[in-house]
Amino acid sequence: MQIRHKIAGGDFTRAGNVASAVKKVLQQINIDHKQSKRIVIALYEGEVNVVAHAYSGVVDIDIDSEKIKITIADKGPGISDIEKAMQEGYSTATPQVREMGFGAGMGLSNMKRNSDFMNITSIPGEGTTVELINFIKPDAN
Amino acid sequence: MRITDIIKELDLKVISGNSSITNEVTGGYVSDLLSDVIGNAREGNIWITVQTHQNVVAVASLKDLAAVIIVKGLQPDSDTIEKSNIENIPVLSTETDTFNIAGRLYELLNKK
Ligand SMILES: Nc1ncnc2c1ncn2[C@@H]1O[C@H](COP(=O)(O)OP(=O)(O)OP(=O)(O)O)[C@@H](O)[C@H]1O
Ligand SMILES: [Mg+2]
């Protein structure tokens, strides 16, 4: 099963819509609750990062019998030092974004913790791609 | 303890998400940083915050939190109310501040 969604940068009124749409799909197809909850949390953080830090993004969700794979690709400023960005507390969020309660610098580590595999590639000045994979346990359901 | 008992004891106003107010509460979490709540709040917690926008409900729903208490009489945005009714997340309100409501909630949940 493949699903594609778009994310608009800067639009906090719709941030989280992709994550909640995907959550509903995973519930409908009876994916193990714990794994789907983790991947949806990781997706939410990734979605909010596109809204907060990039200009636009595309999310591809690919579900097969073994895994849920999510790719979030954005057009944006990119991340020049990924290792630094991964550190808890590091954030370049603007004051307006911080006022809404974003910018703790914890999103990427939440994504790491809630996925079985995570890979970030980025070209500064062009954009960032985050890949997330959670494996579906065969004994679930 | 159920959310309804907490509403009564702490004199909270129910703004929206009424359908789930009989749910059981496992504890509380206090934060105005959304990613902190995502990383550290636990299923069934009541979340106390000053934030009023719709992402509060999104986070509460992702984390299976019991309810949100918005402090200092702050009004949630209209899309926050709308989303809380869809996601079945009770949004509660108090006139008092975070320190006082968290203290009273702590006392209530830890009373023998
Ligand atoms: N998609 C992205 N495009 C550009 N920069 C990004 C992107 N995602 C993350 N970053 C950079 O990495 C930093 C850390 O991201 P992280 O999600 O951990 O924290 P945050 O978004 O700043 O705050 P929080 O997620 O806690 O609300 C960001 O402040 C930003 O500089
Ligand atoms: Mg983030």
Residue A117 to residue B34: CA distance in whole angstroms: 23
Residue A83 to residue A93: CA distance in whole angstroms: 17
State whether B64 and A37 contact (CB < 8 Å): yes
pLDDT at res. A57: 98
Which residues of chain A have a CB within 8 Å of the CB of B34?
48, 100-102, 104
Residue A140 to residue A127: CA distance in whole angstroms: 36
| Count of C-beta atoms within a 10 Å radius of residue A27 | 12
The pLDDT of residue A138 is above 90: no
pTM: 0.96
Domains of chain B, residue spans: 3-109
Q: Which of B31, B49, B55, B89 to mutate to test the interface with A (most CBs of A within 10 A)?
A: B55
Homologous superfamily of B3-109? HprK N-terminal domain-like (3.40.1390.20)
pLDDT tens column, A75-104:
999 999 999 999 999 999 999 999 999 999
pLDDT at res. A32: 87
pLDDT tens column, A5-56:
999 999 999 999 999 999 999 999 988 889 999 999 999 999 999 999 999 9
CB of A73 closer than 8 Å to CB of A58:
yes
Question: In Å, what is the CA distance from A53 to each residue of A5, A103, B103?
Answer: 18, 10, 36
Roughly how many angstroms between the first and final C-alpha of chain B, as a whole number?
12
**What domains lie within chain A, and their CATH numbers?**
2-135 (3.30.565.10)
